[in-house]
Amino acid sequence: MTTSAEPKGAASGLPPVHVIGTGLIGTSVGLALRATGVDVSLEDQSETSVALARDLGAGRITGEVAPGLVVVATPPDVAPTLVQEALRRWPEAVVTDVTSVKQVVLADIVRSGVPMDRYVGSHPMAGRERSGAISGRADLFEGRAWVLCPHETTQSRATELVGRLARATGAAVSTLSPHDHDAAVAAVSHVPQVAASLVAARLEHLSEQAIGLAGQGVRDVTRIAASDPGLWTQILSGNAPAVAAILRDLSADVTRVVAALEALGGEANVADAPGARAVLARSIADGNAGHSRIPGKHGAGTATYAVVSVVVDDSPGELARLLAEIGEEGVNLEDLRLDHGIGLPFGLAEVHVLPQVAGPLTEALQSRGWQIHG
Amino acid sequence: MTTSAEPKGAASGLPPVHVIGTGLIGTSVGLALRATGVDVSLEDQSETSVALARDLGAGRITGEVAPGLVVVATPPDVAPTLVQEALRRWPEAVVTDVTSVKQVVLADIVRSGVPMDRYVGSHPMAGRERSGAISGRADLFEGRAWVLCPHETTQSRATELVGRLARATGAAVSTLSPHDHDAAVAAVSHVPQVAASLVAARLEHLSEQAIGLAGQGVRDVTRIAASDPGLWTQILSGNAPAVAAILRDLSADVTRVVAALEALGGEANVADAPGARAVLARSIADGNAGHSRIPGKHGAGTATYAVVSVVVDDSPGELARLLAEIGEEGVNLEDLRLDHGIGLPFGLAEVHVLPQVAGPLTEALQSRGWQIHG
C-alpha cells in the first residue's frame, strides 16, 4: 500500500478493529477503515454476508490478531448480547455498538452483570434507504454526526478510541449521555417522523381535486412519510419512553389548538374568540422559535438566507445555465429548491443566498435576462 | 398598444375589471391583467395604496366604464360586505373574492339576503412572504392553482368569466364547492402548517448538542414553521371547523401511537407488544399511502423519482458544473436537494431523475470524475 493511500490511517493510529455484523453500517465501517489502512476483521452469522463484505474490501474474515476495538453493528435486539460476548472474548478490547437507540442496549448490558468499563455505546447518524453489505459505502459517514454515549463507568480511553474510529470514517464526533441521546433523537428525528406519517395518512382518502391543491409546504412536511414501516417500528419501539414523552406534550398542544378552533368555529362562544386566537398565534410563534434553533449549513449555527426566485424553463441545461451564471457573479449558493408550477413548462428555482448578496444577485440576473419571480 | 403586447388580452376577451383592495393579490391581479391588455380600474380604502398600485401599472383609479367583473381582494373580515356592495353597485357585473377560505365568506353573503347568482368565490393559491401593493407582481399567479368555488345559485357565465380571468393571469383553474375547497386546503395546507409548528415548538428548549443532531428530515418537516403567526391566525380562524375536524382525527392517531409506545416502553405489558408494534407499523404504512397520493411535478400525478447523490465541493460554480454535465448527458432534472454535511467543505446534491435514467447517469457522472454517494 502506498503512502498516499493511507494518510488518514497513519493519522488515526487505530489498533486492529473487529466488526460484528456485516450489514450496511458494519460493511461501511470496514470499507471506511480499510481505506485509511486500518486492519479490519469481519464476522457475521450469515456466511454469505460476511464473504460479500470481504469481497467488497471491507476487511478479512479470519486472523490471529486480537482486536483493540470491536464494533457491534447489528440490529438492537441482538446487540446487547453480542456486546457482552465481545467484552468477555477480548479482555483488553474496547467495545462499541452502533444502534440508533442507546438506553435499552445499555440497560440490557447492565442487567447481564458483565464488567463494562471498556464499553461505550455510539450512534453514527447515517443510513440509506437500502440495507445489506452490498449497499455499504466507504463514504457513508463522511460529514455525518457520530454520537458517543459513554455511561458512568466507561473508561476515558474507550471513549477516546471510538471517537478516533468515528473521525477516521470522516464523521463529526459529538458526545451525549445515553439518556440525552435518546431524548435528542426522539425530538429531532423520531417525533418528526411520526408527525410526518400521521399528517400524510390524512391525505390518503382525499379526492383527486383536493390532493391536486398540494403545494411545496405539504410536500416538505411529509417527505419522510415515505420511510420504511418495518425499520421505523424497530426504532420507535427501542426509544418508546422518550418518543412517548414528547408525543404526549405534542398531543396536549394539538388538543389546545382544537379547543381554540372549536371556540372560533362555533357561534356560541364568540366571547372566547380573542383568547382562542391568542392560542393559535402562540402555537405558530412557538414554532417560529423552535424552527430558528435548527442549525444551518455545516452545523455552523442558525443562518437566515435570502431567497431569490428565478423562473427557469423546464429543459435540460437551463438550471445549469442559471447556476453557472450565479457562479460567474461570485455568489455561493447556500440552498436551492425547485418549485414546479401546475401544468406549465417551467418552474421556479428558489436560490438561497446570504442576505447581503440577494439584492446585487437579483439585479445581475435580471440584467442577464432572467425573470425574477416575487 | 401594439398587437404583440396583447396576445393574451385578445385571447381572454375579458370585459373591464374592477379590483377592490390593492394589496399584494389585488395589485398582482391588476398587473397581470394590464399585461394582457384588459381595462382595469382600482379601488382601496387607502388612497396611498391605490395610488401606488396605479403608479406600478396595475390599472386606473377612476373611470366611467361599468365593470363586467369585480374582484374583491381584501382580508376575509371585510370581503363579504364588499362583495354585497359590489353586487348592488353594478347590477350586471360578475363578482368574485379571492380569500383563502370560502365557506365563511359565502355564509356572510347568504345572511345579507342580497341576490348572489352573479357571485362566485375563488382562491388563487399564490402568496408571498411580503404584502402590500409594492410587493405585487404580474407573474404572481403563473403556474399556480386558482380554485373556483361556485355555490348553488351561481350563474354558469359567472364561473366561466372568473375562470377566464384566472387563466389570463397564467393560473391553472380548478373547481371545487366551497365546502370541498375548505376541507381540501385544511388537509393539504392548514393541518400541515399546524403540525410543522407544533413539532418545531418542541425543539425550542433542546440543548445545543441535541439540536445539533438535526438533519434534513426535521428540516423539511418544520420548514414552514417559520411562517407568520398573524397571517396564520387569520387563516386558521377562518377555516376553524375543517381544520379542527382533521386535527381531531390526527389527535386520535397520536393518542393511539402514544398508547402503543407506552405498552412497549413499560415492563408490565410485554404481552401487548405485538399489537403495539402493529399499531406503529400501521401508522407509518398509512403515511406511505397518503404520501404517495401527493402529485408530482406539474400536477401530473404521482411520480417516483430515483435519487443520485453526488458529492459536490462547496465552491461557487461546482454545482453548476454538475448540472451542466447532467444536461450534456441529456438528462432532465426532476428535483434537486442539497444536503450539507456537518463541519465539512462539501455537500451532497440529491439529483432526482426518472428511474430509468438513474443507472446510466450514475455511470456517466462517475466516468466524468464525480463521486457518487450511496
Express each pLDDT in A27-58 by its tens digit. Answer: 999 999 999 999 999 999 998 889 989 988 99
Average pLDDT over residues A330-355: 69
Percentage of residues in chain A having pLDDT higher than 70: 87
- CATH number of the CATH domain containing B62: 3.40.50.720
Are B126 and B196 in the same domain?
Answer: no
Q: Which of B213, B216, B250 to mutate to test binding with chain A, by most A CBs within 10 Å of its CB?
A: B213
Nearest residue in B to A352, CA atom: B338
* H/E run at residue A204: none
CB contact under 8 A, B193 and A217: yes
- The number of helix segments (H) and strand segments (E) in chain A equals 15, 10
DSSP secondary structure letters along B87-105:
HHH-TT-EEEE--S--HHH
Which member of A221, A237, A289 has the closest CB to residue B224? A221
pLDDT (0 to 100) of residue B246: 97
Q: How far is A304 from chain B (nearest CA, A)?
A: 11
Are A96 and A39 in the same domain?
Answer: yes
Exposure class string for A59-80: b at 16+ Cβ within 10 A, else e = beeeeeeebbbbbbbbebeebb
Are A246 and A360 in the same domain?
Answer: no
Domain of residue A36: give its range. 3-176
How far apart are alpha carbons A202 and A256 in whole angstroms?
20
C-alpha cell at A137: 459505502
What residues in B contact A184, CB-CB < 8 Å?
206-207, 209-211, 213
How far apart are alpha carbons A163 and A147 in whole angstroms?
9
CB contact under 8 A, B290 and A374: no
What residues in A contact B332, CB-CB < 8 Å?
314-316
How far apart are alpha carbons A147 and A125 in whole angstroms?
8
CB contact under 8 A, B299 and A246: no
Under 8 Å between Cβ of B58 and B169 = no
Kindly indicate the confidence band of residue B54, based on its pLDDT and cuts at 50, 70 and 90: very high
Q: Is A112 exposed, middle or buried, given 0-12, 13-18 or 19+ CB atoms closer than 10 A?
A: middle
Q: Which residues contact A224 (CB under 8 A, 6 or more apart)?
A: A192, A193, A196, B217, B220, B221
Mapping DSSP to helix (H, G, I), strand (E, B) and coil, where does residue B15 land? coil
Which member of B175, B183, B243 has the closest CB to residue A261? B243
What residues in B contact A142, CB-CB < 8 Å?
311, 341, 344, 373
Residue A269 has pLDDT above 60, yes or no: no
Q: Phi, psi (5° rounding) for residue A149?
A: -125, 70
Q: Are strands A145-149 and A121-124 parallel, antiparallel or unpaired?
A: antiparallel
Which member of A202, A246, A323 has the closest CB to residue B290? A202
Q: Answer yes or no: is A374 within a domain.
A: no
Q: How far is B65 from chain A (nearest CA, A)?
A: 31
Q: Which of A131, A175, A188 to mutate to test binding with chain B, by most B CBs within 10 Å of its CB?
A: A188
> For residue A193, how many C-alpha atoms fall within 13 Å in the half-sphere facing its CB?
26
The domain boundary, picked from A259, A291, A323, lies at A291
What separation, in Å, do the N-terminal and C-terminal C-alpha atoms of chain A show? Answer: 56
Average pLDDT over residues B158-182: 95
Q: How far is B178 from chain A (nearest CA, A)?
A: 12
Per-residue model confidence as pLDDT tens digits over B96-127:
999 988 998 999 999 999 999 999 999 998 76
Q: Answer yes or no: is A271 within a domain.
A: yes
CB contact under 8 A, A284 and B321: no
Are A167 and A210 in the same domain?
Answer: no
Q: How far is A268 from chain B (nearest CA, A)?
A: 14
CB contact under 8 A, B189 and A218: yes
Q: Is B344 exposed, middle or buried, given 0-12, 13-18 or 19+ CB atoms closer than 10 A?
A: middle
Are B155 and B138 in the same domain?
Answer: yes
Residue A302 has pLDDT above 60, yes or no: no
Domain count, chain B: 3
What residues in B contact A264, CB-CB < 8 Å?
236-237, 240
pLDDT (0 to 100) of residue B135: 78
Question: Within an 8 Å CB–CB cutoff, is residue A134 touching chain B?
Answer: no
Closest CA to A188 of B253, B262, B225, B202: B202
**Measured between alpha carbons, how far is residue A140 from residues A253, B98, B212 in Å?**
37, 49, 19
A326 against A345, higher pLDDT = A326
Are B188 and B170 in the same domain?
Answer: no
How far apart are alpha carbons B106 and B372 in whole angstroms?
55
Question: Within an 8 Å CB–CB cutoff, is residue B338 touching chain A?
Answer: yes
- Between positions 234 and 263 of B, the ones with CB within 8 A of A are 236-237, 240-241, 243-244, 246-251, 253-255, 257-258, 261-262
pLDDT (0 to 100) of residue B300: 38
Under 8 Å between Cβ of B150 and B158 = yes
Q: Answer yes or no: is A298 within a domain.
A: no
- Phi-psi category of B280—alpha, beta or left, where left has phi over 0 and alpha has psi -120 to 50? alpha
Q: Answer yes or no: is B374 within a domain.
A: no
Nearest residue in A to B298, CA atom: A342
Q: Answer yes or no: is A334 within a domain.
A: yes
* H/E run at residue B147: strand B145-149
CB contact under 8 A, A290 and B333: no
Residue A71 has pLDDT above 90, yes or no: yes
pLDDT (0 to 100) of residue A303: 47
Per-residue model confidence as pLDDT tens digits over B64-83:
688 999 999 998 888 999 99
The domain boundary, picked from B291, B326, B354, lies at B291
Q: Answer yes or no: is A345 within a domain.
A: yes
Under 8 Å between Cβ of A43 and A83 = no
Nearest residue in A to B285, CA atom: A229
CB contact under 8 A, B204 and A289: yes
Count of A-B CB contacts under 8 Å? 484
C-alpha cell at B146: 386558482
What residues in A contact B215, CB-CB < 8 Å?
125, 145, 188-189
- Tell me the pLDDT of chain A averaged across its residues: 86
Residue B159 has pLDDT above 90, yes or no: yes
How far apart are alpha carbons A145 and A5 in whole angstroms?
25
Q: Which of A130, A207, A221, A302 to mutate to test binding with chain B, by most B CBs within 10 Å of its CB?
A: A221
CB contact under 8 A, A371 and B139: yes
What residues in A contact B198, CB-CB < 8 Å?
195, 250, 253-254, 257, 283, 287
Are A282 and A312 in the same domain?
Answer: no
Q: How far is A86 from chain B (nearest CA, A)?
A: 27
Q: Answer yes or no: is B42 within a domain.
A: yes
pLDDT (0 to 100) of residue B71: 98
Are B265 and B149 in the same domain?
Answer: no
Are A205 and A351 in the same domain?
Answer: no
Per-residue model confidence as pLDDT tens digits over B202-223:
999 999 889 988 877 898 899 8
CB contact under 8 A, B212 and A237: no
Residue A151 has pLDDT above 90, yes or no: yes
Strands (E), chain A: 17-20, 40-43, 69-72, 94-97, 121-124, 145-149, 172-175, 306-313, 335-340, 346-353
What residues in B contact A219, CB-CB < 8 Å?
294
Are B85 and B215 in the same domain?
Answer: no
- Lowest-confidence pick of A6-10, A138-142, B156-160: A6-10
Which member of B314, B324, B374 has the closest CB to residue A128? B374
Per-residue model confidence as pLDDT tens digits over B260-316:
999 998 654 556 788 999 999 999 999 999 999 988 643 434 446 788 888 877 666
CB contact under 8 A, B317 and A336: no
- Measured in whole angstroms, the distance separating CA B208 from the mean position of its chain's CA atoms is 33
- CATH number of the CATH domain containing B236: 1.10.3660.10
Q: Answer yes or no: is A300 within a domain.
A: no
- Lowest-confidence pick of A7-11, A291-295, B89-93, B238-242: A7-11
Angle, helices B178-185 vs B103-112, to 10°: value is 150
CB contact under 8 A, A191 and B199: yes
Average pLDDT over residues B16-44: 95
Q: Which of B100, B206, B237, B291 to mutate to test binding with chain A, by most A CBs within 10 Å of its CB?
A: B291
The domain boundary, picked from B263, B291, B319, lies at B291
Q: Are strands B172-175 and B306-313 parallel, antiparallel or unpaired?
A: unpaired
Question: Within an 8 Å CB–CB cutoff, is residue A170 touching chain B?
Answer: yes
How far apart are alpha carbons A185 and A107 in whole angstroms?
18
Closest CA to B268 of B276, B278, B280: B276
Are B224 and B153 in the same domain?
Answer: no
Average pLDDT over residues B343-369: 81
DSSP secondary structure letters along B24-61:
HHHHHHHHHHHTTT--EEEE-S-HHHHHHHHHHTS-BS
CB contact under 8 A, A277 and B331: no
Question: Within an 8 Å CB–CB cutoff, is residue A288 touching chain B?
Answer: yes
Are A64 and A26 in the same domain?
Answer: yes
Residue A316 has pLDDT above 70, yes or no: no
Nearest residue in A to B292, CA atom: A226
How far apart are alpha carbons B204 and B224 in whole angstroms?
15
C-beta neighbour count of B15 within 10 angstroms:
19
Complex ipTM: 0.72
Which member of B217, B251, B346 has the closest CB to residue A255? B251
Per-residue model confidence as pLDDT tens digits over A81-117:
999 999 999 999 999 999 988 998 999 999 999 999 9
Q: Which residues contact A74 (CB under 8 A, 6 or more apart)?
A: A20, A21, A23, A26, A82, A97, A99
